[in-house]
Each structure stands twice: as C-alpha cells, then as structure tokens.
Amino acid sequence: MTRRRWIADEVSSNLAALTGDHANHLVRVLRARVGQEFDIATGAVVRRGRIVSIDQGRVEFELGEEVAAATTPNVTLLLAIFKFDRMEWAIEKCTELGVSRVVPVIARRTDAHLASAAAKRAERWRRIALQASEQSRRSGPPEIAAPIRLQEAASVTSVDLRIFLAESEQQALLRDVVATPPRGRIVLAVGPEGGWAEDELHLFKTAGWISASLGPTILRSETAAIAATAIAMAELD
C-alpha cells in the first residue's frame, strides 16, 4: 500500500514535525497514532517517517531511509487573475499536475475588485497548493508568487521558452511548440476571462514570447490553465 506523504513544517537532523492545523488534520481526520509510518518531504529529499509523539498542534516523526522521489519538468504558470473560486480550482489541479511556480497576474481584463483583493488571497492559494502537493505525493509545493502586473511578468528572461496562449493563434498548437527545442525551464501565460487585450498581445510579441493555441474551442480560463499544464508536463517529461 502506498504511504501518505506529508511536507514537514520543521526539520532537525533525523526529526521532523507537522505543526498547527497541518498536524491537527493528521490527528483528528486521519486518526494518526504513534508508530504509524508516512513519507515525509523535508525539502531536498523524501524520507520514511515514523510518528514518535503526538501533542496538541504538533506531530513529530523520526526520520529513516530516503525514499525515491519523482522529478518533474520546470514549468511556471503565469495565471491572469479571474474569479477566485475558479482560480483556486486551477491552482489545485495545476499543482497536482506538477507545475513548479504559479504567478498571479493582473491583466487588462482582470476585474478591478479581484485585482485589489488578490494580495490577500495569496496565503490561501499557498495552503491549497500545499494540500494538493501532499495529496499528489509531490516532494514540495509550487511557489505561489505575490500578484504582479502583466508588464512586469512579461519581462521575465531567465527561462528557455516563453509561451502565451492566444485565441487568435491559428497555426501553432501548444503541444508542437513545447516539443521543439530548447526544452528546459518554460513559462506558460494563461489569460483572464475574455482573453488578452490587444495591447497585451503586442507586449508579449515584442518581448519575444511565442503564441500557441489549445485548439479551435474557446475554454474557460481554469480549463485552459489545467489543459496547458497537462500538455506541457506530458511533452517535457
């Protein structure tokens, strides 16, 4: 039987701990007990962990042998901010698929109320990503960056391939663009409801980004993010 994986809140030598609500979930919901074993992600590696103590808001593990952990491609998702319930769904599923980093982006068509409230949601997005990482047996959660404006996000250059999804793209499919060299760190940009504005499309193109399509149908932003991440991970794996 596959052991459940947890991402440690504290690590010291051969001991690790879950704290706060993280620990309470393990104790109250999963009925953890002393002696039970789990896989514990400690940042650099994953190790087998045996529960040695349970207290209010704290579960401690004795760490044992290292456990093989899968490696995933380095994919950053620039996600234009849209309705928060749908955005949370996208972050959760893209985390399960293996995205390395999510950057919430304030685009031209991002609702002003959502843009102003986004910074306060970042911590909730990080908790969702942590939970999704443990559920999908990742060795660590993706970075969830603070929201930034598109002009700043589009200027990133420390990657091998930068792709923005565009409904206007008629020829280049994402799977074909990702499959061509160079293959390394890539960034995928997914627009808000209504898509990228004309000046934003121009900004991407003048900054050297490549446009790509997911096909002839028009997808919701959360569907596009999940589909794009799945395609990229499959092609880069």
What secondary structure does DSSP assign to 125-162, as a single string? HHHHHHHHHHHTT-SSPPEEPPPEEHHHHTT--SSSEE
Which among 67, 87, 116 is the end of a domain? Answer: 67
Burial-class residue 86 by CB neighbours within 10 Å (0-12, 13-18, 19+): middle
For position 173, what pLDDT does the model report? Answer: 94
- 215 with 152, same domain: the answer is yes
Total count of domains within the chain: 2
pLDDT in tens, 144-190: 999 999 999 999 877 889 999 998 888 899 999 998 756 678 999 99
For position 183, what pLDDT does the model report? Answer: 64
- 82 with 27, same domain: the answer is no
In degrees and rounded to multiples of 5, residue 158 shows phi and psi of -85, 40
- 105 with 130, same domain: the answer is yes
- 52 with 147, same domain: the answer is no
215-234 average pLDDT score: 95
CATH at residue 137: 3.40.1280.10
Residue 3 has pLDDT above 90, yes or no: no
Residue 236 pLDDT grade (very low, low, confident, very high; cuts 50, 70, 90)? confident
- 50 with 158, same domain: the answer is no
Which among 22, 45, 67 is the end of a domain? Answer: 67
pLDDT in tens, 94-152: 999 999 999 999 999 999 999 999 999 999 999 999 999 999 988 889 999 999 999 99
For position 181, what pLDDT does the model report? Answer: 58
- 144 with 218, same domain: the answer is yes
- 45 with 108, same domain: the answer is no
- 48 with 106, same domain: the answer is no
- 138 with 193, same domain: the answer is yes
The whole-angstrom separation of Cα 105 and Cα 81 is 6
Residue 1 has pLDDT above 60, yes or no: no
- 52 with 119, same domain: the answer is no
CATH at residue 17: 2.40.240.20
41-67 average pLDDT score: 92
- 144 with 210, same domain: the answer is yes
Residue 39 has pLDDT above 80, yes or no: yes
What CA–CA distances, in Å, run from 1 to 28, 37, 136? 22, 12, 15
Write down how long the chain is.
237
For position 182, what pLDDT does the model report? Answer: 63
48-52 average pLDDT score: 95
pTM for this prediction = 0.86
57-74 average pLDDT score: 89
30-42 average pLDDT score: 91
pLDDT in tens, 67-77: 887 778 899 99
- 170 with 59, same domain: the answer is no
Instruction: Pick the range with the lowest mean pLDDT from 69-73, 211-215, 223-227.
Output: 69-73
Which among 13, 45, 67 is the end of a domain? Answer: 67
The whole-angstrom separation of Cα 109 and Cα 197 is 7
The whole-angstrom separation of Cα 25 and Cα 4 is 13
Which structural domain range is residue 44 located in? 5-67
* DSSP assigned state of 17: E
